[in-house]
Structure 1
Amino acid sequence: MALSPFRAHKQRVIAAHGRADIPEMDNKTANQYELMLMQLAEHRRKLKLIQSIERKIEVKRTLLPDYVAYVDGVLEGGSGRQDDVLMTIMIWRIDTGDIAGALQIAEYAIHHDLQTPDRYERSTACLIAEEAADTSIKAIESQNPVDPELTARVIAITQDKDMFDQVRAKLLKAHGLGLLKAGSLVSAVDYLKRALELDEKCGVKKIIEQTEREIKKQNSTQQAEEVVAPEETPAAQDEAPVVQEAPAS
C-alpha cells in the first residue's frame, strides 16, 4: 500500500538525518532502517512464492514505490552507512528496467564503498555492471532499447573498479548494441571490439563484421553522392553576326 504524503515525508526526513552527532535522530534512523528491513523481508518472501521471472518483475514494480521516500532520504542524508535495503532496491530498479533510478543509488553506493547483501555474492561494481548489461540487452531484444547514455554512465562509474573481464565485456557489449540501435555505427564497433578483446566468447564477432560492412556501404554511398558531375557546356547558339554600319559621311 502506498504511503500517505505525510508518512512519506516523515520517512524521507528520518532517513536523511542518519548522523551520529544527533543521537535522538540517529536512534530514529536506526529504528526506521529496522522497519524497512522488515518490510523488505516480507516483500522478499512474497516474491519467493512466485516462480515466473516476468511476474516477479511486475510485482517488484508495484512494490518499489514503498521505498521511494526512504531511498530519497538516505541519498539526501549522505551518511554513507551500509544499507542492505538501499542496495536491494538498486537491484530491483535495474530488474524493472529503471536503470536511471538505479544509477542514483549506484553512484552513491560506489562513492561510499557500500557492499552488496551477502546473497548476491558479487562486488557492488560487478553487480551493477552485470545487472545493467543484462537488462539493457534484454530491452534491445524486445525492441525497447535503453538510452546508451545510461550504459555509458554505468561504464564511467565502474571503469576503475575490479571485476571479471567477462562482466565488463558484457557491459561494453550492451553499450555497443545500444549505440548500434541509435545509429552510431563507428562508436558501436569500438565498444564491441573492446568487448571481444576481454571475452572472445561474448558473441559479437558477427555483429562487428556486419556493422563494418554496413559502414563501408554507407561510406561508399556517401562518396558517390559527393562526386560532382562535370557541368555540361551549354550548347552554342547560332547567332547572326552583327554587322557594324559605317558612319555616315
Structure 2
Amino acid sequence: MTLEVKDLVGGYSRIPVLKEVNFKINNGELVGLIGLNGAGKSTTINHIIGLLKPFSGEIKINGISIDDDVNEYKKQIAYIPEVPILYKELTLKEHIETTISAYDLDEKEAWSSANRLLKMFRLDKKLDWFPTNFSKGMRQKVMILCAFITNAKLFVIDEPFLGLDPVAVNDLLNLIEKQKKKGSSILMSTHVLDTAERFCDEFVLIHNGEVRTQGNIEKLQKEFGMDDSSLNDIYLELAEEESSHE
C-alpha cells in the first residue's frame, strides 16, 4: 500500500476543514480525488505533501509518516500543483538539475529521462529559457517533466489538465500509465470528470470535509442509486444535494 490516510482531522485554523478523513491508495493505482469546490480536496493534498500539520490522525507513505523521517517521507512524493511553481532566476536546465539534486537521483539516468520528456513536450530547444519566457502550458509541462524524472512512489497531481493542449494531455496520461506499471501510485484531483472516469482505477469522493465514499465507478453508482450514470451525473447529484441543504 502506497498511501494511507487515517482519521485525518485538519485545516488552516482552529476550526477543522477535514473531519476524520480515511482512504487508501494501493501500489500502481490512479485514484481521482473528486468533490465540489470547498469540499476539502486542496486541504487534503496540502496535508499529504506536508504543507499542513494534522490536528489529529496520521498519513503514511509506504509505512513512513512525516514525523518518522521528514526527508524520507517527502522524497517519496512528486507533486504537480494546479498553478506551476517555478523559480524565476533558474533556467529550465537548472530546474532539472535542482530536481536531480533534491531527490538524490543518478545524474545519467535522470538526464536520459529528462531528454526524452523534453522532446515529448517540445522543450528540448528551451533549456536555457527562464520561466518568464514560458506560457502557462509550458510552465505546466516543466512541472510534469521534473516530477516524472523522479523515482517517487506517490504522485500527487492537482488539476493537471488546465492549460495543457490535447497532445500534452495525452502525453501526460501515457506517462501516468507507464508510472503505474512501475508500481507508483497517483492521487489526482480534477474536475475533468469524463477523463477521470476513463482513466482512474478508483475515486475518493470528498464532501464537506468527509469522505462520502471510495471505490470504482460501479461502487459510486450504487452508493448514489444511479445505475449506469456517469461520474459527471454523480457530481451533479452531489451539487444538487448541497443546494437543497442550503
Give the structure-1-normalised TM-score. Answer: 0.27
More helix by share: 1
Q: What is the TM-score normalised by the length of structure 2?
A: 0.28
Q: Which has the higher contact order (CA 8 A, sep 6+)?
A: 2
